Chain A
């Protein structure tokens, strides 16, 4: 890093001096002036302001809300908004940090420590967000339970310890060759523990207690969050089964470890996708199965002999590039890992000869069966998860958005920068295909929910279809904008997500309230805004291309 900084300092100096000599105007300024959203600071700054306003407003509203579903739902919403504000604030700091080149990507990693640092930096926003969520959950809980100051202080004191130790352990696990196995194992135990807990009165009480305290939607976002809140609630309510608590902590550790291994996996995929093999050798820290995967990917990419690669990488250091784009928060969390597992299973079942859509069928069915199984056992709130998962699956399907994330670029369809109109058409087409595929599943699931919750079938089906249409609209909007092009799209997407979940919950609980309806209205408004955003973006790109002149050196995208 030192060498790189020195080199950059010299280059900057030389370029500046030559610019002054020629009085050249950096067209970077033109780009910023014409497209301010290219700047991460502006992008996240806008996002921060939006969410700060939203969250403040919702908190004010919550103050006046009476206890009850609306109040809880709004509290949940405000939590999410506040969390996002903090998240984006963290991103601003990060962007500023990067701008100052303090912790920008190191070009020449001296050793494995650099890799670790890189991984931790990737995980930083996720960890920060996680911490904030935890804090706010505690705050809500304390507020709802009217806890006294010392107990609340105890809670606050405990949570960073848990988070810090978990992350530390996760880093260790992630660097350990058998990390993935351990992570899966602990996660499996955690799931079993949770499901077992549902059978017991204590477990049910805890679940009920915690869900009521901080909003059910949050638990649907990440099971990890649910585990933590359950565990904390468990401690607070003084239940004696410490074993259960430990199991939950284990789940948490497993999940974070999985996130870490996931990050490594993403990096590997990015490596595979880019032609960095010209400057890279395989990592020494990657062992066992991960190493085998890497070699396989490398040999496929390079069309090189595996034996040769193995010989070549023995004992070599590794140069790691920054993954293209940054993985989304959801990708960082282990939902995507689980989904990947299902994808692998479906690939294993269907093989490469099956069309991609066929594989998605199997993957979706696998998800559905798993959650139906859980729902049948518990007959509680878990069926709602299925809707969420279906939405996730639909959103995480085929993507043609020019490689917004490394997962995309390493996916089945290789990313290709397409013209916006073509992208929109293709996305709409694929979206319709997805819809056609998902619709039977949605209807089947709606029927299941209708049976389970004793509500009218047609109502459940309507929900499902509405949801799918909403998802389609979201996808069209999403595909038309790359992550770097429209700054305010991403927070909008997050908001749409949050509202979608609220929407699902409101509908699935079969108790539509004023608050719920308001959220639905807002959700629809966001969707419309998303589509309008996409259309605007298309227009913007087209007009920019039309206006482009050689002397401006302005390019909107790779041609």
Chain B
């Protein structure tokens, strides 16, 4: 599923969250979006998910503009905010089941896979427990399992590495995400952890004040700069 941004600009009042961003995402790649707080990372994901309409420009999915009413397209992508929207009063299993049904992703054998993921993420004993009683990390894991079960073509994740998941959970996510790219899935996530972005991405997108400063493989961005991504970001912040 090809995803493109064509001159996307998004303003919140006087604040320009995204400023004329043009980019293209290829199937089967992992993109880490980095930038300072307020650089427009989350807005970018929201625009990509169809949750926020650009003021100018457009988001193109398979050569057609993405609109909110394109449910057929939106079902093929999934956005996981830093605080995933789950039904707090419903159990872990029910939340996952609902998400699978909503995205029309019910396939034979899905239940076994979900149970296996629950086991891998230490959630198996908590299947009947209401989500409201879980910790943040466990809640995020629930949402992550929903995403795995839905297996959307485009994964949009806001700060998955800072979601409260334990190291096993993060390792699980990275493993599953890498496996998903082999199935042609596109994974776009935001992060503030530069070492993660360096190691766990095919390309890195750097945003600063809403503008796209770089969108290339890490090696290309950091070529000639021994300080890595951190140095690049610092230079962006203070060019002098």
Q: Which residues of A contact B (CB under 8 A)?
A: 3-4, 7-8, 10-15, 17-19, 22, 24-28, 31, 38, 104-105, 107-108, 274-279, 281, 302-305, 308-309, 311-314, 316, 319, 321-322, 324-325, 484, 553, 555-559
B52 within 8 A of A: yes
Interface 0/1 of B69-111, CB less than 8 Å to A: 1010000000101010101111001101111111000100011
Q: Are B85 and A19 in contact (CB under 8 A)?
A: no
A558 touches B134 (CB 8 A): yes
> Are A22 and B102 in contact (CB-based, < 8 A)?
no
Rounded to whole angstroms, the CA-CA distance of A27 and B139 in the bound complex is: 15
Decide: A553 near B126, CB < 8 A? Known: A274-B85, A558-B136: yes
Contact A276 to B164, CB < 8 A, known contacts A12-B93, A22-B119: no
Q: Is the CB of B90 within 8 A of A28?
A: no
B125 part of interface (Cβ distance < 8 Å): yes
Given A105-B87, A105-B90, A311-B69, CB of A4 within 8 Å of CB of B126: no
CB-CB under 8 A for A302 and B51, given A3-B101, A18-B115, A107-B97: yes
Nearest to B11 among chain A residues (CB) is A303
Which residue in chain A gives the minimum CB-CB distance to B133?
A: A555
Is A555 within 8 A of B102, CB to CB? no
B53 partner residues in chain A, CB cutoff 8 A: 304-305, 308
Per-residue CB proximity of B103-141 to A under 8 Å, as 1/0?
000100011101110110010111111001111111100
For the complex, give the distance between the alpha carbons of A305 and B56 in Å.
Answer: 11
Instruction: Identify the interface centre among A325, A557, A558: most chain B CB within 10 Å of its CB.
Output: A558
Chain A residues closer than 8 Å to B112, beta-carbon distance:
14, 18
In the assembled complex, the CB of B188 is this many whole angstroms from the nearest CB of chain A, namely 15
In the assembled complex, which residues on chain B have CB atoms less than 8 Å from the CB atom of A281? 68-69, 71
Known: A304-B53, A308-B53, A558-B132. A19 touches B125 (CB 8 A): yes
Q: Is the CB of B68 within 8 A of A28?
A: no
Query: Is B67 among interface residues, defined by CB-CB distance under 8 A?
Result: yes
Nearest residue in A to B106 (C-beta to C-beta)?
Answer: A7
Nearest neighbor of B129 in chain A, beta-carbon distance: A28
Checking B83, B97, B116, B132 against A8 with a beta-carbon cut-off of 8 angstroms, the contacting residue is B97
A11 near B111 with CB under 8 A, answer yes
Q: How far is the CB of A34 from chain B (nearest CB, A)?
A: 12
Task: State how many angstroms separate the Cβ of A205 from the closest Cβ of chain B.
Answer: 49
Of the A-B pairs whose beta carbons lie under 8 Å apart in the complex, a sample of 25, sorted by A's number, is A4-B97, A4-B98, A11-B114, A12-B93, A13-B111, A15-B118, A18-B118, A18-B124, A19-B124, A24-B119, A27-B126, A105-B87, A108-B101, A275-B83, A278-B85, A279-B99, A308-B53, A308-B67, A312-B68, A313-B68, A322-B89, A322-B90, A558-B139, A559-B135, A559-B164
